[in-house]
């Protein structure tokens, strides 16, 4: 039996959704390049009519699939970046309005971190800081399962546009643009984004900028509307949970998020999480067990999920990947990976890279 690209999902893959607004301009850009947008959309179970409702939630793999195919057919590695010309700044629905009520850039970005799931369930954002730099980091829950560079590029482009909007500097640039992906293989390779140098094959996908920008004060557009907007967002979240039930329990989603945030750090330990929750580690372990969760097993699974992403989407050496996902040596990484896939990391990479 032949399967369409949408049918060829991994059958145990979690289901995530993205608001249709992320594809604003898709058909127009395809047609400007002489590409049949209708044919691409049909192959992934979509249609121009579905894209007309910006708040409609579409399957993650369909949205990322049409972007990747359009990029390949057009030979344009920056295809998704071009979509931003048709899209408003910060196109994430209702949370966008709440971001504009923030009193500082930090609070605005924290609003993105907290509520982006109402726009795109498959990615999470978080902020990390060093003495001089801030990192707005994008984590893709499906990275390694499906090609996703175009959607990552679109998200990072909008992150830069958001910073320009908040700082009121239309030509602002981050210090660096980082992608945990290799250069697109089938097309012209973008080396800069708005003039900022792109660094491929990195540990994270992120923009890096001066830390001082986080505390830049903002003027809320509707200073008295915060409580009403908060209520509307809570109602929207309730509606989405009813109509699109999560494929995982909330406790598991939160635990996975914490582990993903800390997986690259030495403090990705149950004891550290317990300390942050003001619990004894054994008590936290019991609470997780009562929910059917095991910290060590989940951490091991996430490490291998991230390894799949680096193997599929980057050209990083195997020894580097092993170190990035927390293995002390390549042999230990290879054994764990082979236990999951029955193939060595190298063989898996060769069969999954374009």
pTM for the full model? 0.89
Is 187 a member of any domain? yes
Pair 276, 202 in one domain: no
CATH number of domain containing 305? 1.10.10.60
pLDDT in tens, 55-78: 999 999 999 999 999 999 999 999
- What is the number of domains present in the chain? 2
Q: What is the 3-state secondary structure (H, E, C) of 280-349?
A: CHHHHHHHHHHCCCCHHHHHHHHHHHHHHHHHHHCCCCHHHHHHHCCCCCHHHHHHHHHHHHCCCHHHHH
- In the predicted model, what is the mean pLDDT of residues 304-327? 95
Is 235 a member of any domain? no
302 Cβ contact partners less than 8 Å away, ≥ 6 residues apart:
256, 259, 260, 263
Q: Are strands 133-140 and 205-210 parallel, antiparallel or unpaired?
A: antiparallel
More confident residue, 237 or 343: 343
Is 225 a member of any domain? no
Question: Do residues 72 and 85 touch, judged by C-beta distance below 8 A?
Answer: no
Pair 274, 208 in one domain: no
Angle between helix 149-167 and helix 105-115 axes, rounded to 10 deg: 150
Nearest to 150 by CA among 251, 92, 71: 71
Is 289 a member of any domain? yes
Pair 180, 255 in one domain: no
Domain edge (last residue) among 215, 240, 271: 215
pLDDT at 5 over 70: no
> What pLDDT is recorded for position 3?
33
Is 237 a member of any domain? no
Pair 185, 264 in one domain: no
> What pLDDT is recorded for position 299?
92
Pair 142, 56 in one domain: yes
Domain edge (last residue) among 199, 215, 231: 215
pLDDT in tens, 134-158: 999 999 998 888 899 999 999 999 9
Strands (DSSP E) contained in the chain are: 17-19, 57-59, 123-129, 133-140, 176-178, 192-193, 196-199, 205-210
Residue range of the domain that includes 190: 17-215
Pair 26, 122 in one domain: yes
pLDDT at 8 over 50: no
Pair 56, 193 in one domain: yes
Pair 36, 141 in one domain: yes
- In the predicted model, what is the mean pLDDT of residues 35-47? 97
> What pLDDT is recorded for position 239?
86
């Amino acid at each position: 039996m032949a399967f369409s690209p949408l049918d060829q999902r991994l059958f145990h893959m979690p289901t995530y959704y993205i608001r249709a607004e992320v594809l604003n301009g898709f058909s127009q850009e395809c047609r400007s390049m002489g590409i049949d947008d209708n044919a691409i959309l049909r192959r992934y179970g979509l249609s121009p009519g579905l894209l007309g409702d910006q708040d409609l939630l579409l399957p993650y793999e369909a949205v990322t699939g049409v972007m990747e195919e359009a990029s390949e057919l057009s030979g344009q590695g920056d295809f998704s970046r071009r979509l931003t010309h048709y899209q408003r700044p910060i196109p994430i629905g209702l949370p966008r309005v709440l971001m504009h009520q923030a009193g500082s850039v930090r609070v605005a970005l924290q609003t993105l971190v907290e509520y982006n799931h109402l726009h795109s369930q498959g990615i999470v954002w978080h902020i990390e800081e060093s003495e001089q730099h801030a990192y707005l980091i994008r984590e893709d829950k499906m990275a390694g399962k499906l090609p996703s560079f175009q959607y990552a590029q679109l998200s990072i482009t909008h992150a830069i546009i958001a910073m320009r909007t908040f700082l009121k500097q239309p030509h602002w640039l981050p210090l660096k643009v980082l992608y945990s992906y290799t250069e697109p293989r089938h097309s012209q390779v973008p080396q800069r984004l708005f003039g900022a140098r792109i660094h491929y094959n990195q540990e994270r996908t992120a923009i890096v900028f001066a830390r001082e920008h986080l505390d830049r004060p903002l003027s809320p557009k509707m200073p008295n509307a915060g409580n009403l907007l908060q209520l509307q967002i809570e109602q929207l979240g309730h509606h989405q949970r009813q109509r699109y039930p999560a494929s995982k329990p909330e406790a598991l989603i939160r635990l996975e998020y914490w582990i993903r945030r800390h997986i690259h750090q030495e403090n990705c330990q149950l004891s550290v999480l317990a300390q942050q929750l003001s619990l004894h580690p054994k008590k936290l372990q019991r609470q997780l067990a009562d929910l059917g969760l095991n910290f060590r097993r989940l951490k091991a699974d996430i490490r291998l999920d991230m390894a799949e992403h680096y193997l599929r989407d980057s050209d990083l050496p195997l020894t580097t990947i092993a170190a990035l996902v927390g293995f002390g040596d390549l042999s230990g990484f290879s054994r764990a990976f082979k236990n999951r896939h029955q193939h060595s990391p190298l063989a898996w990479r060769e069969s999954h890279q374009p």
